[in-house]
Structure 1
Amino acid sequence: MTAVGFTYDEAVAYIEELPKFTKKHTLDHVREFLRRLGNPSSDRKIVHVAGTNGKGSVCAYLQAILMAEGKHTGFFTSPHLVSINERIRMDNIQIDNEAFLEAFNQVQETARKMEEEELGHPSYFEFLLGMGMTAFAGSDVEYIILETGIGGRLDATNYIEHPALAVITSISLDHTDILGDSIEEIAAEKAGIIKPGVPVFFDASNQKACAVIRKTAEKMLAPCREISKNAYEIREVNWKYIAFSRANAYDKGVIYQVPICGCYQVMNAQIALEAAEYLLRDETIHKSRWVDAIGSMHWEGRMERVAPHLVIDGAHNPGAVEAFAESVKALGADEGEGPVIIFSAVSDKKYEQMIEYLCRNMNAKAYIVTEIEDKRRVPAEELERVFKKYTRKKVYRAGSLKEALQKAENERVDDGDIFCLGSLYLAGMVKKLLAGGGYHA
């Protein structure tokens, strides 16, 4: 226990204040932090997942498959949409407040001692990573699915030296101020999670990224599995699911249904299926359970219909916006007068590229811009200016999310939808507003 008796709310407040007082550290610092915690969960099978888009979804599918085979799983993910507890899950149940506080107390005591020794307090993400690994160590999880925060090579999660498997999802331009201005540079950062001799499974859709990952794997003598769009065939797309089959003799005739209407989710599911086949290669598996696991998987904030005419999507970089637009077209949701788009973004994202792509590649009835509740928010006036640069459609500026939703309801046609995108913060804000009764669609 710590010298100070924290309540759950005080613990959350402590963590949320950390970005004001701490900074990201080297991997050596992270390793020292985890060593002082006793290297929790180092005896578990860890799947390390990096990538620009699809990381969380791949992790969620893999978790569902492993659970279908009776495996106990831990899942460390970010960011959260509503509650910070969402970041630490065991068997897909987010950590409860009591267990959260117990892990916090252990980690905070270690962090306090490091600070006293002038070694530096762990950052926000590092602190939560320590909490997650500590919580998993006190449970019976066999597999830990560890999602990187930003990048890979220098990400705090990369303190792990002997994962069971590395996975790299779709790569596109994001966090360019940190990771580099080209696909090749970003791919090199993501490929930094590849360890000597540890297999890596990756999305081979982008040839530039593929070449970098393949070269890194060869250097590390790491077996690699390149997963391309030839690995599956989309059979049906509708608002309830996307049906697909795999180009795999073992799965011939088996139809999987992804219950998320983003076409990009099929690649994410395929990566998870291949990863699971590798992890469970020495065991008897039950593919019918896998079909059910994929079909019943729920992952919030990804083409999620949260009200009769309201859909939220976490697309927050150019690649994700392209995938969003592809899905909207496949669903026929931009036909007729088109949907209404609510958009918000953070300043360190390539929001002008996202806006330009939306305006040039989607038929929207109107655009409504608002601001997220974060210090990095892009002012609504700036978003309005950029939209008007690329479209002649109506562009409205709203002072609040509630006002934006009301304007969208006034604009949409009877059977039209409202799509909210541009930031996961925006998706979280919509969920909070709906949960609190502050808006009724």
Structure 2
Amino acid sequence: MTLFTTYHEAIEWIHSRLAFGVKPGLERMKWLMDRLDHPEQKIKAVHVAGTNGKGSTIAFTRSILQSAGYSVGTFTSPFILTFNERISVNGEPILDEEWLSLVNEIKPLVDELDDTELGAATEFEIITACAFAYFAHVHQVDFVLLETGLGGRLDSTNVAAPILTAITSIGHDHMAILGDTLDQIAAEKAGIIKTGIPMITAVHQADALTVIQHKTEEKNAPFISLYDTCTFKDQQPTETGERFTFTTPKREYSQLETGLIGTHQMQNASLAVLMIEWLEQEGYIHVLDEQVYEGIRQAVWAGRFEKIQDEPLVYLDGAHNEEGMDRLIETVQAHFSSKQVHVCFSALKDKPYKQMIEKLERISSSIHFVSFDFPRAESAEKLYDCSHLEAKSFDEDPRAVLDFIQKKRDDPSAMILVTGSLYFISDVRSRILQ
């Protein structure tokens, strides 16, 4: 049996499984978990689903737990900096040699699975199986924060046996797979709800919230709704984030300050606080108030309204659907109303990019459209044709973003906003910071 000798060979093999596409369903994952001696049952998992805000909520939760001295594993996607960050411990991606070892452990099983009636394992299924095996058998941690890849009910991560579940938000994304309406999408996300396991949510739309609540009743799972049980006040932007007072049924957190910019980060931070309160109530952790404040303030999450350059001022934000774009526009209006906003945008073909571009035009002095090297990336010219803004341009070469930024170097009124697909954000970030 041939095993890989280098990290790059192992990762190339994982990426080669993209050819099998997205195949919702848990049968192959259950088969792999059985052959791996059920690592998914040997971890304390917190399972997080949602259209937007999953990564930031996980970042806040991880940061608070770390401030309190706990070790935290995370499984997130897609990656922004390096592939390795999909599996991280205390915010640090696992090592190349650890990935190599994991892939060599799982490849023989995948080869065997390929020959069964269940069919070939997908890229995401393999990565998810590696994450479970890593946290159960290689590097044990106090908690594992699991982000769903797509939906919830049939997502590869849904073989987990979590101690807590959360749904951050419901919006219009992946509708070809999850459904056309918010309640259909909510039903897919609510598939992570387990019998007797609490569900905490920041979903605010009445229909979607009703779907989630009905699922918790069906599963006899405790249900906590952020907007039904908590209040916000004294909200104001700061130079590096947001400041607000948050009151839960248990206590008031006066003047919390986030380390992440964006009006929506108040929701994500608050959801994380509710999750921490529940973990403490159930005896899993002990966290001091000052550790909550420190964790919220120190949380970082690459590619989410992230400043990466000062001259000119450059921010990256992976707003890759309509709801994400709405939050981005709110953030720009709250923090940068005095700036001339020059946008670099790219998107995948299966996203509602026409509507996203229309929203962006409300805050843009100019828009530069770019494509990038990814199978589903839309051409820059097609994106350009969707725009009605007079000051627009396009270039199929992603390197053109650097030229676009360079031209604004001596303009103190300029703010460059690079946004759209997270894959695009990752590409641009690596080019700027290399």
- 1:292 pairs, out of 274, 291, 294, with 294
State the match for 2:403 in structure 1: 406
3-state secondary structure, aligned to 1:222: coil
Aligned residues of 2:48 and 2:54 also touching (Cα < 8 A): yes
State the match for 2:15 in structure 1: 16
Structure 1 CA distance for aligned equivalents of residues 347 and 279 of structure 2: 37
* CA offset digits 1:253-304 (Å, max 9, x no partner): 6321111111101100100110011112225321101211111111100000
42-51 vs 248-257, which moves further: 248-257
Aligned residues of 1:340 and 1:411 also touching (Cα < 8 A): no
* CA offset digits 1:281-333 (Å, max 9, x no partner): 225321101211111111100000011111000100000000000011111x1
Does 2:260 match 1:238?
no
3-state secondary structure, aligned to 2:152: coil
Give 1:85's aligned amino acid.
N
Aligned residues of 1:342 and 1:408 also touching (Cα < 8 A): no
* CA offset digits 1:197-228 (Å, max 9, x no partner): 11100013222221211122122221110012
Give 1:56's aligned amino acid.
G
Q: Could you list the runs of 5+ residues in structure 1 that have no partner in the other structure?
A: 437-441
Does 2:365 match 1:365?
yes
Give 1:394's aligned amino acid.
A
* CA offset digits 1:102-131 (Å, max 9, x no partner): 111111121122224454231100000011
State the match for 2:334 in structure 1: 330
Structure 2 CA distance for aligned equivalents of residues 5 and 61 of structure 1: 36
Structure 2 CA distance for aligned equivalents of residues 15 and 235 of structure 1: 44
Does 2:136 match 1:134?
no
411-420 vs 57-66, which moves further: 411-420
Task: Describe the shift of the 1:234–1:304 C-alpha distance in structure 2 as closer, same or farther (beyond 3 A).
Answer: farther
Task: Describe the shift of the 1:17–1:5 C-alpha distance in structure 2 as closer, same or farther (beyond 3 A).
Answer: closer
Structure 1 CA distance for aligned equivalents of residues 399 and 130 of structure 2: 35
- 1:311 pairs, out of 311, 315, 318, with 315
Structure 1 CA distance for aligned equivalents of residues 4 and 213 of structure 2: 50
State the match for 1:197 in structure 2: 196
| Pairing of 1:382-421 with structure 2 (within 5 A) | 382-388=382-388, 391=389, 393-410=390-407, 413-421=411-419
Does 2:432 match 1:428?
no
* CA offset digits 1:216-251 (Å, max 9, x no partner): 212222111001285322532033121111123754
Aligned residues of 2:4 and 2:100 also touching (Cα < 8 A): no
Task: Describe the shift of the 1:371–1:356 C-alpha distance in structure 2 as closer, same or farther (beyond 3 A).
Answer: same
3-state secondary structure, aligned to 2:146: strand
Aligned residues of 2:187 and 2:211 also touching (Cα < 8 A): yes
Deviation at 1:401, TM superposition (A): 2.5
Aligned residues of 1:25 and 1:122 also touching (Cα < 8 A): no
Deviation at 1:142, TM superposition (A): 2.1
Aligned residues of 1:345 and 1:423 also touching (Cα < 8 A): yes
State the match for 1:71 in structure 2: 70
* CA offset digits 1:127-166 (Å, max 9, x no partner): 0001111111122212111110000111111122x31011
Give 1:297's aligned amino acid.
A
State the match for 1:353 in structure 2: 355
Give 1:141's aligned amino acid.
V
Task: Describe the shift of the 1:22–1:178 C-alpha distance in structure 2 as closer, same or farther (beyond 3 A).
Answer: closer
Aligned residues of 2:22 and 2:122 also touching (Cα < 8 A): yes
3-state secondary structure, aligned to 1:255: strand
| Pairing of 1:40-55 with structure 2 (within 5 A) | 40-55=39-54
Structure 2 CA distance for aligned equivalents of residues 377 and 399 of structure 1: 10
Aligned residues of 1:67 and 1:91 also touching (Cα < 8 A): yes
| Pairing of 1:174-185 with structure 2 (within 5 A) | 174-185=173-184
Task: Describe the shift of the 1:119–1:188 C-alpha distance in structure 2 as closer, same or farther (beyond 3 A).
Answer: closer
Structure 2 CA distance for aligned equivalents of residues 226 and 253 of structure 1: 18
* CA offset digits 1:69-99 (Å, max 9, x no partner): 2222211110011311010011221111111
Question: What TM-score, normalized by structure 1, do the two folds share?
Answer: 0.92
3-state secondary structure, aligned to 2:144: strand
3-state secondary structure, aligned to 2:201: strand
Structure 1 CA distance for aligned equivalents of residues 188 and 49 of structure 2: 9
* CA offset digits 1:363-420 (Å, max 9, x no partner): 32101101122111111111111112xx3x3110123233234235436842220001
The total of aligned residue pairs comes to 427
Task: Describe the shift of the 1:284–1:154 C-alpha distance in structure 2 as closer, same or farther (beyond 3 A).
Answer: closer
Aligned residues of 2:24 and 2:154 also touching (Cα < 8 A): no
Task: Describe the shift of the 1:28–1:118 C-alpha distance in structure 2 as closer, same or farther (beyond 3 A).
Answer: closer
Structure 1 CA distance for aligned equivalents of residues 170 and 209 of structure 2: 9
Aligned residues of 1:33 and 1:122 also touching (Cα < 8 A): no
3-state secondary structure, aligned to 1:343: strand
Structure 1 CA distance for aligned equivalents of residues 363 and 150 of structure 2: 32
